[in-house]
Chain A
Amino acid sequence: MTKSSNKIDSKNVKVDVHYLTRVEGHGNIVVDVKDGKLTKCEFQVIESPRFFESMLVKRSIWEAQHLTSRICGICACGHSLASVKAGEDALGIKPSEETIMLRKLLLYAEQMDSHILHIYILVAPDLLGVKSIVPLVKTHRPVIEMALRMKRMSDYAGEVLAGRHIHPISYVIGGLTQLPSQEGLEKLYKMMLDARKDTEQTIKIIKTLKFPEFQRPTQYMSLSSNEEYAMYDGDLVVNKGSKTKVRDYRKLFSEQVKDYSRAKVSTINGKSYAVGALSRFNNNSDKLNKKAKEAARELGLKAPCHNPYLNTAAQLVEWVHCLEESIIIMEKILKDGINENKVVVPSWPKRSELDKIKYKPNTGAACVEVPRGSLFHEYTIDDTGHITAANCVIPTNQNMGNLEDDMAKLVPELLGKKTQEEITLDLEMLARAYDPCISCATHLLDVKFV
């Protein structure tokens, strides 16, 4: 960070955060105010490019899930699910209802895992005025132990359901390679019930923390469904408006490459938009379960909410929703069992049969809601079942333009009121509120006042 004085200068501010910390990936924030005028406000993704869309070309559609879960260590389950759904769309395969139920369980676990990591490890230190959780281990040990316990529960869910949470093993096109063990499921169910108490405690803690005041209404995009609070499936909506089919996503938004960033930037009707917990909450809060609605009330979160800092509160509401929905699914599984024949794909991928499959050249697309927002995978396959073109649209990229527009509105509001250090921290916190995941986008944040 560049050196700056404590004197408040309302005319000239330079922010230059190089390598934003406590986010996934590598990014910079560069802001320049000269003579009271905002001349530069950029969020630069400086991660080394990884070329996943290129890596997928010429690989078998059956390999896509394995490869694309490596796009991100945090949302590996989400990438995996978007990938198998897109593969199934291209191949014309319909998974069983029981498979979908298990996939939802995995997706909820990932939402919980990522949200709790974000709330406690990435955001809470800012609100408590420290640089990381490291000092909190001494000063707030019971809370940190609770956070790790909550994280452990959701992480264990990944282990039981898919072999592991980071780069899941058993969730593939058509179903699962193996059923979760009964013993593991029972242990997981007990951990989920225990997590209710920690959840109540967490709501009490987050309630006392003060989030910065800032308002900027924008376009909020997410999946939406008549049946449920949409995460696994649905149509695309913007501010509760008309519905767009996932396959038509290119008609709804477009992507551009910017010179200063490795991540592409998306727009709807030429304007920036937000995805993620707050967007989902704004579009679908009426579909939340009872306990999640109560949590929202207790946290003072009401739709539509136009304060991006409160994305963290929306994440906690989603934690509650996902936990309760998971408990319902677990109770059903423990009572009725899982029909192995409907779920397990024993032939996957059977070498001697794979070569005989007649493939129809086709394009398949899918979207799932991952912790940071709507994630799209789209693959085109040829008549040998190999990928000829791929497109992955990552939530962080979609949020990038919106974050820049937030920063452009926020900086002038802070001029003359806050020091350069304070403005820098507010901008870092704003970026962190989006929970940017730059390793996907490719990586995120470093603020430069230049």
Chain B
Amino acid sequence: MKKQSKPKVAFFDFTDCEGCQLQIANTGQTLLDIMELVDIVNFREVMSEAGEDYDVAFVEGSISTDNDVKRIKKIREKAKIVVAFGACATIGGVNGIKNRFPLEVAKDRVYGDKADTVNTIKNMPLHEVIKVDYFIHGCVPYIPEIVTVLKCILMGKPYVLPNYPVCVECKMNENVCRYEKDQECMGPVTRAGCNSWCINNGNRCYGCRGLVDSPAVDAAKDILSKYGLKVDDILQSFTLYNDSMGEKYDKEFK
């Protein structure tokens, strides 16, 4: 990106809860600072104008209809940079759970005899349909990481995702290991970058940031067996966010 030119930024949402966009509003005062550095040209949730000329597209949500596929391809054609923003966009997120039922069953459960009016396809993260330049993982994304990625984009640098598990951050935060508390936890194989957010608050890791590259599967299996668990016990938990990545993850583990 050229120096001193203000990049035009657009926000788009697909199948999701819109929490990621809301997280932008939650940056508070930082939001005003960000607005000094970029021109926000399209943000349906907060603006009536819809600029079609943009450099950077932040896209939240997963792809789950034929129309979504067409729309995301158009966005890719126009944008110089596409950012997959949040778990639904980066790994398919909770929407992926529908992939494990035949689509007809899911439609029928929710819409009954009107199920035929519903258009839906397999749930997919963005990179299965288009090329993605930056990934901001998490459900919801962690604000300090959003700011870091934004800085990288403004400086024209790549953002190097943390390639170590949540356990690393969790140890630094001096939490007691969830396995010691007789709970299951996805921390050993989940990509860090959230500062072990859920564990810091007394909960466990649910794997919303997806698998770390080349997870230490053997070490993870050792932890499970030490606490009397099998891989199958924990795979069910992986389906919460990672069902759209199912085949890839199955290969990693089996």
Interface residues, chain A, with chain B CB atoms under 8 Å away: 19, 21-26, 47-55, 57, 63, 66-67, 70-74, 76, 117, 121-122, 125, 131-134, 137, 144-145, 148, 151-152, 155, 162-167, 169-170, 172, 176-178, 257-259, 262, 344, 346-347, 349-353, 439-440, 443
Contacts and interface: CB of A to CB of B under 8 A. Distances in A.
Contacts of A133: 46
Contacts of A21: 44-45, 47-48, 50
B8 to A, nearest CB: 13
Contacts of A178: 201-203
B21 A73 contact: yes
Given A169-B197, A346-B181, 11 more contacts: A26-B13, A57-B101, A73-B18, A73-B19, A131-B48, A163-B200, A164-B197, A169-B202, A170-B201, A352-B182, A439-B16
A436 to B, nearest CB: 12
Which of A49, A52, A74 has the most C-beta atoms of chain B within 10 angstroms of its own C-beta?
A49
Contacts of B225: none
Contacts of B14: 48
A172 B203 CA distance: 9
Nearest to B108: A54
Contacts of A47: 15
B47 A148 contact: no
19 contacts: A51-B97, A52-B110, A57-B101, A66-B206, A66-B240, A70-B19, A70-B93, A76-B19, A125-B48, A155-B26, A162-B201, A163-B201, A163-B203, A166-B22, A169-B202, A177-B201, A177-B203, A178-B202, A257-B117
Given A73-B22, A169-B201, A439-B17, A137 B35 contact: yes
A170 B201 CA distance: 6
B25 A48 contact: no
A49 B110 contact: yes
Nearest to A74: B22
Nearest to A148: B28
A151 B27 CA distance: 10
Closest 9 CB pairs of A and B: A73-B19, A178-B202, A177-B202, A163-B201, A132-B47, A257-B114, A131-B48, A169-B201, A55-B97
Contacts of A52: 110
B50 A54 contact: no
Interface in B90-111: 93-95, 97-98, 101, 105-107, 109-111
A63 B240 contact: yes
A443 to B, nearest CB: 8
Nearest to A442: B15
A157 to B, nearest CB: 12
Contacts of B64: 48-50
Interface of B: 13-23, 25-26, 28-29, 31-32, 35, 40, 43-50, 64-65, 67-68, 93-95, 97-98, 101, 105-107, 109-112, 114, 117-118, 120, 139-140, 181-184, 197-198, 200-203, 206, 227-229, 240
Contacts of A134: 35, 40, 46-47
Nearest to B233: A351
A151 B28 contact: yes
B229 to A, nearest CB: 7
A166 B28 contact: no
Contacts of B25: 117, 121, 151
B22 A132 contact: no
Contacts of A70: 17, 19, 93-94, 139
B18 A72 contact: yes
A21 B42 CA distance: 10
B202 A170 contact: yes
B140 A164 contact: yes
B139 A55 contact: no
B98 A51 contact: yes
Given A21-B50, A48-B68, A48-B120, A351 B182 contact: yes
Given A169-B198, A169-B203, A170-B201, A121 B46 contact: yes
Contact of A132 (B28, B49, B202): B49
Nearest to A158: B26
Given A22-B48, A169-B198, A177-B201, A48 B15 contact: yes
A257 B26 contact: no
Contacts of A73: 16-23, 140
Contact of B47 (A22, A50, A167): A22
Contacts of B228: 352
Contact of B18 (A22, A74, A164, A353): A74
B18 A25 contact: yes
Contact of A148 (B29, B67, B105): B29
A52 B109 CA distance: 10
Which of B26, B65, B114 has the most C-beta atoms of chain A within 10 angstroms of its own C-beta?
B26
A336 to B, nearest CB: 22
A352 B182 CA distance: 7
B240 A24 contact: no
A48 B181 CA distance: 39
A411 B48 CA distance: 22
Given A21-B48, A70-B94, A148-B28, A57 B109 contact: yes
Nearest to B141: A166
A223 B197 CA distance: 34
A165 B26 contact: yes
Contacts of B95: 50
Contacts of A23: 45
A424 to B, nearest CB: 11
Nearest to B23: A166
Contacts of B18: 24-25, 72-74, 439, 443
Contacts of B97: 51, 55
Contact of B94 (A49, A55, A122, A347): A55
A133 B47 CA distance: 7
Contacts of B184: 351
A94 B228 CA distance: 31
A396 to B, nearest CB: 13
A51 B198 contact: no
